[in-house]
């Protein structure tokens, strides 16, 4: 499914950005800005879309056990609660 590919791309980008946050400097600011933008854009989803996103991430996590914990933590890390 194309949604799975998009979710994987998001996971990869987010994982890379999270790694960049550690060191000080311009990369840190850029990573934080990008993570904030990702959270903002995904925050525009409806509650149903957020649940669908969680379902997709669960499929991706099952397919990528080495990153499963990180993948499953993304909605909470990006403040994507289902009530909004």
Q: Which of 1, 2, 76, 83 is nearest to 39 (CA)?
A: 76
pLDDT in tens, 25-57: 677 777 788 888 888 888 888 888 888 889 999
CB atoms within 10 A of CB 63: 12
Whether 62 is covered by a domain: the verdict is yes
Structural domain boundaries, residue 59 = 2-77
More confident residue, 83 or 76: 76
User: What is the distance between the alpha carbons of residues 20 and 16, in angstroms, rounded to a whole number?
Assistant: 6
Whether 20 is covered by a domain: the verdict is yes
Q: How many separate domains does the chain show?
A: 1
Whether 82 is covered by a domain: the verdict is no
pLDDT at 65: 96
CA 62 to chain centre: 16
- Position 84 pLDDT exceeds 60: no
Whether 31 is covered by a domain: the verdict is yes
- pLDDT band for position 24 (cuts 50, 70, 90): low
For the entire predicted model, the pTM comes to 0.72
CB 59 within 8 A of CB 11: no
């Amino acid at each position: 499914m194309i949604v799975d590919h998009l979710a994987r791309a998001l996971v990869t980008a987010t994982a890379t950005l999270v790694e960049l946050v550690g060191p000080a400097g311009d990369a840190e600011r850029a990573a934080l800005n990008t993570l904030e933008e990702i959270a903002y854009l995904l925050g525009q989803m409806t509650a149903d879309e957020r649940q669908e996103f969680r379902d997709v991430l669960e499929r991706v996590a099952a397919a990528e056990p080495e990153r499963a914990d990180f993948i499953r933590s993304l909605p909470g890390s990006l403040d994507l609660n289902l009530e909004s």
